[in-house]
Amino acid sequence: MTPAADSHHDHAAPDAGQGGEASDGGELAIAIAQFAPTADAAANLDEIERLARHAVGRGARLVVFPEYSMFFTPELGQEMADAAEPLDGGFVRALGALAGELGVHLVAGVLERVPGDDARFSNTLVALDDGGQLVARYRKQHLYDAFGQLESERVVAGALDEPEIFAVDGVEVGMQTCYDLRFPEVTRVIVDAGADLVLVPAEWVRGPLKEHHWRTLALARAIENTVYLAAADQTPPVAVGRSLVVDPMGVELAALGEQPGVAVAWISRERLAAVRRTNPALALRRYGVVRR
């Protein structure tokens, strides 16, 4: 664990007030927000609101929260399936109301009810725009049947649909979830769909070398795709924390330790274009991605 709890470092940025605005240079303030969700959805929503208000006060136009932000128990049992809601349910509506009130885009992990299946649910990311509307969703594609876990017992894998991309102040944003980070094809498909920034809400389980894997994979996905990447993890005791924002050259623009908190970074479309001119790897590649 990092010794500096709730520490962060931010890319130099112009001042921004409540709600924030993209700068004339094509910059966008994005916040990573991390906490440890519990089996109390109301308390989780309160923590999301607290962190979102803090992020917006620092100029953020987009705030990214962890996987399972809505409701979480260390063992994925019937309690989580019972807590699942449709995407027009109370929790997502509350996220939309908060996004609209604050004038900010919010992304968080929720438990989505699967019609006709009371024992399983979808591990879903939702994106609410600054008017409170649901503008994109992502259902986790690669389930965590690894490191002694068996997520597929309770979670329905997402279909391999075309990525849902949404725009924030001219920046095109895509999403993927946690274990998907170990599969480079997921990020590549999202970037091929036009994403400038990829969001990775996660519940990255602690274990030997897991913090090393988390950071290494986040940097690799950003570098190999010449894309911005923002990964928001749950905090201990189950997950590692260590949320971070990475630029297309693999530079960490903002990072957190193991405590709940928020870090803000400014991302730049000019920087993205300059990196892709210098390193046109996306244009030079000779292989594509084939769905199985």
Calculated CA dihedral for residues 245, 248, 252, 256, nearest 10 degrees: 10
Of the candidates 147, 256, 168, which has an alpha carbon nearest to the alpha carbon of residue 210? 147
Spell 50-76 as b/e; 16+ CB within 10 A means b.
Answer: ebbbbbbbbbbbbbbbbbbbbbbeeeb
Cα–Cα distance for residue pair 196/173, rounded to 1 Å: 6
Active site residues: 67, 140, 178
Count of beta carbons in the 10 Å neighbourhood of residue 162: 9
Q: Give yes or no for a contact between 125 and 177, defined as CB atoms under 8 angstroms apart.
A: yes
